[in-house]
A = this chain, B = another copy of it.
Amino acid sequence: MGKGEETRLAVLDEAARVARVVGLGGLTIGTLAERTALSKSGLFGHFKSKESLQLQVLEHARARFVDLVVRPALAAPRGEPRLRVLFDGWLRWQSAPGGCLFVTAAAEFHHQSGAVRDEVVRGERDMLDMVTTMFRAGVADGAFRQDTDPDQAACEFNGVLLAFHQAFHLLEDERAESRARRALDDLLARVRT
């Protein structure tokens, strides 16, 4: 890995940390340059525009999410175990300092068209599709009730995570996690045969 790629990744790491707090739109070339001990123009050279920086931050976070959350889940047995491992990892991911970049970006860009929004939508769709697939697999295996609607279940799964994120970060509610786990237990109990 050359020098350029090395600093590019360092910048993306720091950018993700900052963006979790202030959003992708709140990112600033100047402050980001300070925090990475670079000059504005030196940093800017790695990304040809701010929008490109935002897109790369998203892509970078996405890769980390797959490593830290998705892959461990795929290593677990299909159906309920896999969904539980996914949920665990996801909770840990969302509990990171500053919150979850995807949740922040989703709210920020829900009505601001452009390439960044498109990328946020694509990511969110992919995640929801993955959850839907996991529920569907459980139904196919006979572990979940035959009349389970996988889309509905995935949607409620997402709702539990969003409520957790808000309770944990905004309201600083220390019972947020236990309530999220209980909500998932209920959801799984409802679809289990």
Stretch from A48-56, A64-72, A120-128, A137-145 forming part of the interface with B: A120-128
Copies in the complex: 2
Contact among B21, B155, B159 with A111 in the assembled complex (CB-CB below 8 Å): B21
Contact among B106, B169, B171, B186 with A170 in the assembled complex (CB-CB below 8 Å): B106
With an 8 A cutoff between CB atoms, is A146 at the interface?
no
Interface magnitude class on chain A: 35 or more
**A residues with CB within 8 A of B:** 20-23, 25-26, 98-99, 103-104, 106-112, 120-121, 124-125, 128, 151-152, 155-156, 158-160, 162-167, 169-171, 175, 179, 182-183, 186, 190
A-B contact pairs, 26 of them (CB 8 A): A20-B111, A21-B112, A23-B25, A23-B108, A25-B26, A103-B107, A104-B107, A106-B107, A107-B107, A110-B169, A111-B169, A121-B170, A124-B166, A124-B170, A124-B171, A155-B179, A155-B183, A156-B159, A156-B160, A156-B183, A158-B166, A159-B162, A159-B163, A159-B164, A162-B163, A162-B166
